[in-house]
Structure 1
Amino acid sequence: MLKLDEIKKPIAEQLDLFEDKFKQSMESSVPLLDRITHYIVKRKGKQIRPMFVFFSAGTCGDICEATHRGASLVELLHTATLVHDDVVDNSNERRGFFSVNALWKNKVAVLVGDYLLARGLSLSIRNDDFKLLKIVSEAVEHMSEGELLQMEKARRLDIDEAVYFEVIRKKTASLIASCCACGAASVTTDDDVINRMHTLGEKIGIAFQIKDDLFDFGVDDVGKPVGNDIKEKKLTLPLIYALKKSSKTEKRYFINLVKNHNEDAKRVREVIDYVKGSGGLSYAKEKMMEYQEEAFNILYTFPESAYRMGLEQLVKFTTERKK
């Protein structure tokens, strides 16, 4: 059996090959569209989603062309949602660079997002990858539902823990779940294996989002806390826990700060300090590690291999990352 160090080169080669295939999947005969998609590809992140696809596929079978198409499908549909999100949020930046809508305006950005969605659909249909298309389409559907649910609840600030987990399961975890399920479905037709991988990805995704929530309170020395979630009136797990433990008077007071004084840096700082003093961060860390442990328990039902070890490292990365 290959050791983890020995698999780094083959995985790196698969990712390089994927990069080429992904660029091809975005090609167009329209020069403006080609310029924009080239700009998007040049500014992509750490390739975490394709890595989940490839490691999951390797854990369940042999990586093949369908695996590459699954990784491209996930990236196409996810990139489309990011382009659309920047329009919805009126955001001018994405990963430290200008967003598509900032450079080419909203109308063009929406059309580019639509194009990427269509390319993902056509890539799957051309190759009869209906199982992969079903998995990813359901994820995009859930992501939209999660975003809208969060927006609805943000207006009234009535998110409890059950609603919070429903939001992040749909909004964040569904995508990572689709990566793991796509990887499995590209190499096997065994529904039990695919479903286990999907559940594994969902657990990882929830842990991933809780880690993001902790960053907003300055955890892990990533810099001065900025409280962006508070500024956007998002009730995340640390704050939800703190409010749950509060008296009625305290709860009213801090909800009022989030609702009506969320642009005031001193008031945001007050909320952050209150959450820290109420045990909100410790509780969120505990829940994050519970989900990671559940992910490991599912992962260890698969045969030991270097790919499984690689997936294990990705699971650890979700809770140990510094940004």
Structure 2
Amino acid sequence: MSLDQAKTDKPHERLAAMLEDDMARVNGLIRERMASEHAPRIPEVTAHLVEAGGKRLRPMLTLAAARLCGYEGDNHVRLAATVEFIHTATLLHDDVVDESDQRRGRPTANLLWDNKSSVLVGDYLFARSFQLMTDTGSLDVLRILSNAAATIAEGEVLQLTAAANLATTEEIYLQVVRGKTAALFAAATEVGGVIADRPDDEVDALRTYGDALGIAFQMADDLLDVAGDAAETGKNVGDDFRERKLTMPIIKTIAAADEDERAFWVRTIEKGRQEESDLETALELIRKHGAIEATRREALGWSETAKNAMRRLPEHELRQILIDLADYVVARIS
């Protein structure tokens, strides 16, 4: 599939259609397990976020990987719900850390309730996710998903320490992305192969696919922030700059900066003293140093890594959709 085709084909919608019955079971399990007899605020806060929409890509990756590998039991539904609970918990915590007031076009839980509720409900969802993991009876599944949860938390702390620090390198950026985004993508696909009892090389291919897909996904998001169309993305151009986030295009631009340009980045990113015209200056510098095209090439490279890993799996209609999905996440920046 060409990148132009991927833009219009929307493989995530084909994936959702193929997995509709399984996703209905996942959603039912999520509603069941987010209930609380003694603390009604838990389902209130969880429902606000879970029912806000979103592509549900992570749980669909688990379902797709399991079906691709020929799994015929029920544990893929439990694991897909587990993955969604982990993801939702991290979103609740992220919004508190980032002091966000909006997600998916709606007020965040911490704004509607308070920070304490968001943190504690996030903790509850993490606990629920571990209960679901153990329901599978698989130590390998428990190891993979618990490692992912630890890696996500580690990535959040690393991002906190790297924030607004011009010494942040591309290597540190990749560590953050692997923690915040790719770890759960990789675990979501890997456990699908594990519960199907597939050979190690196939499980490794699923893990590699998820890792590379997550990195490509995040780099594409970085690019859309500096070169996207706000009407198409629904996001304001330059939000990362305003929030002083060191994304790949900004890191590449800072690395190529002369003395005057570096002084600009010290003032706007490190010290946070931004003026109205600074965003346009930042975008001009990013274009000047070719950081958009360089980041785009890297995102496409990670997409190719994901596609090549998926080609190591058996022939299946879902295999092709997952390959197309790797094209789709970067087609947005073509």
- The 5 Å alignment of 1:12-91 reads 12-30=20-38, 31-91=40-100
> 272-281 or 151-160, which moves further after superposition?
151-160
- The 5 Å alignment of 1:119-138 reads 119-138=128-147
**Residue pair 1:73, 1:124 contacting (<8 A) in 2 also:** yes
CA distance 1:95–1:262, shift in 2 (3 Å): farther
Amino acid paired to 1:96: G
Amino acid paired to 1:251: R
User: Secondary structure at the residue paired with 1:90?
Assistant: coil
- The 5 Å alignment of 1:174-213 reads 174-188=183-197, 190-213=199-222
Deviation at 1:10, TM superposition (A): 4.0
> Counterpart of 1:158?
167
Percentage of matched positions with identical amino acids? 32
| Deviation string, structure 1 residues 268-316 (Cα, Å, up to 9, x no partner) | 2211121012211000000101111111111111121101012112212
Deviation at 1:251, TM superposition (A): 2.5
- The 5 Å alignment of 1:163-174 reads 163-174=172-183
User: Secondary structure at the residue paired with 1:156?
Assistant: coil
How many Å separate the matches in 1 of 2:236 and 2:128? 39
**Residue pair 2:229, 2:237 contacting (<8 A) in 1 also:** no
How many Å separate the matches in 2 of 1:269 and 1:133? 47
Deviation at 1:70, TM superposition (A): 1.0
Counterpart of 1:147 (choices 156, 175, 182) is: 156
CA distance 1:160–1:41, shift in 2 (3 Å): closer
CA distance 1:155–1:261, shift in 2 (3 Å): closer
Deviation at 1:9, TM superposition (A): 4.5
How many Å separate the matches in 1 of 2:254 and 2:163? 15
Tell me if 1:108 matches 2:117: yes
User: Secondary structure at the residue paired with 2:168?
Assistant: coil
How many Å separate the matches in 2 of 1:268 and 1:226? 9
Aligned residue pair count: 319
Amino acid paired to 2:53: K
| Deviation string, structure 1 residues 150-199 (Cα, Å, up to 9, x no partner) | 22122432112222222212221111111111221221253332222111
**Residue pair 2:164, 2:246 contacting (<8 A) in 1 also:** no
**Residue pair 1:91, 1:99 contacting (<8 A) in 2 also:** yes
Q: After TM superposition, which residue ranges in structure 1, 4 or more long, deviate above 6 angstroms?
A: 4-8
> 84-93 or 171-180, which moves further after superposition?
84-93
How many Å separate the matches in 1 of 2:14 and 2:242? 45
> 72-81 or 92-101, which moves further after superposition?
92-101
CA distance 1:6–1:36, shift in 2 (3 Å): closer
> Counterpart of 2:287?
276
**Residue pair 1:168, 1:206 contacting (<8 A) in 2 also:** yes
CA distance 1:262–1:44, shift in 2 (3 Å): farther
**Residue pair 1:50, 1:75 contacting (<8 A) in 2 also:** yes
- TM-score normalised by structure 2 residue count: 0.88
- TM-score normalised by structure 1 residue count: 0.90
> Counterpart of 2:315?
304
**Residue pair 2:193, 2:202 contacting (<8 A) in 1 also:** yes
Amino acid paired to 1:39: H
**Residue pair 2:76, 2:195 contacting (<8 A) in 1 also:** yes
Amino acid paired to 1:78: H
Tell me if 1:258 matches 2:266: no
| Deviation string, structure 1 residues 218-241 (Cα, Å, up to 9, x no partner) | 335646853121122222111222
Tell me if 1:243 matches 2:254: yes
For the aligned residue pairs, the C-alpha RMSD in angstroms reads 2.3
> 240-249 or 19-28, which moves further after superposition?
240-249
Amino acid paired to 1:176: F
How many Å separate the matches in 2 of 1:61 and 1:142? 29
User: Secondary structure at the residue paired with 1:128?
Assistant: coil
